[in-house]
Amino acid sequence: METAADEPAVPHRHFVVHKPFGYLSQFVADLKKKKVLGALHDFPAGTMAIGRLDEHSEGLLLLTTDGRMSHEVRSKKVEKEYYAQVDGLITDEAVAQLRQGVEIGIRDVKYQTLPCRAFRLEAAPDFPARTRKIRDDRHGPTSWVSITLTEGKNRQIRKMTAAVGFPTLRLLRVRVGAVELGALAASEVREVAHFSLPA
């Protein structure tokens, strides 16, 4: 007689998602009006987000049914690259500060961010307009910066750019490890066989 232990294991499934503005990186919300990932696709039971993007952030989100894979991606070995649109024309000095690490607050405790890669984007990335308008041009110029981290504190990018005097207006994650957002449209979900991660 076959037992549960004899049954073949169900293979894990993995998804690449372009999380749109206004969605939570979860499947259940305390408030009914909040938008969750389950509204984007019929994900299998046990699917979990690997890391999070806050409600107002957009871009690349990896989902999996494999808890071990989730732990591996969330480890400090895996780079996460973000594009941030900031208020004002970010200076070389501010970018240098971001690279060296800046002091931010994490739950009322001061934290020094680790050194990271950062550079100003000379041209604005070709992303479609956000569903909620950023602001009017009459409020002054904006610029874009790329920041690549191997850590992931709560709202870290936003806190980092604010610490150097250039608050973030729009934030998109464009890469996790070797997985890139590329041309994936907002709300689009793509199932993949595996995630490309560093060895």
Where in the sequence is the domain holding 46, given as residue range(s)?
A: 4-75+179-192
C-beta atoms surrounding 184 within 10 Å: 15
Asked if the structure places residue 66 within a domain, the reply is: yes
> Is 66 one of the annotated active-site residues of the chain?
no
Residues 108 and 166 in one domain: yes
Burial (CB count within 10 angstroms: exposed 0-12, middle 13-18, buried 19+), residue 14: buried
Q: Is the pLDDT at 198 greater than 70, yes or no?
A: no
CATH of the domain at 128: 3.30.70.1560
The model carries a pTM of 0.90
For range 83-103, the mean pLDDT: 97
* Structural domains in the chain (count): 2
HSE at residue 108, side-chain half, CA atoms within 13 A, is: 0
The predicted-structure confidence for 143-157, as pLDDT tens digits, reads as follows 999 999 999 888 999
Nearest by Cα to 156 from 183, 118, 194: 118
Asked if the structure places residue 11 within a domain, the reply is: yes
Nearest-angstrom CA–CA distance, 145 and 116: 13
Residues 163 and 128 in one domain: yes
Q: At what angle do helices 92-100 and 156-163 cross, to 10 degrees?
A: 130
Among 6, 30, 42, 54, the active-site one is: 54
Q: Classify 43 as helix, strand or coil.
A: coil
pLDDT the model gives residue 58: 96
Kindly tell me the sign of the dihedral angle through the C-alpha atoms of 126, 129, 133, 138. positive
Q: Is the pLDDT at 2 greater than 70, yes or no?
A: no
- What single letter denotes the amino acid at residue 34? K
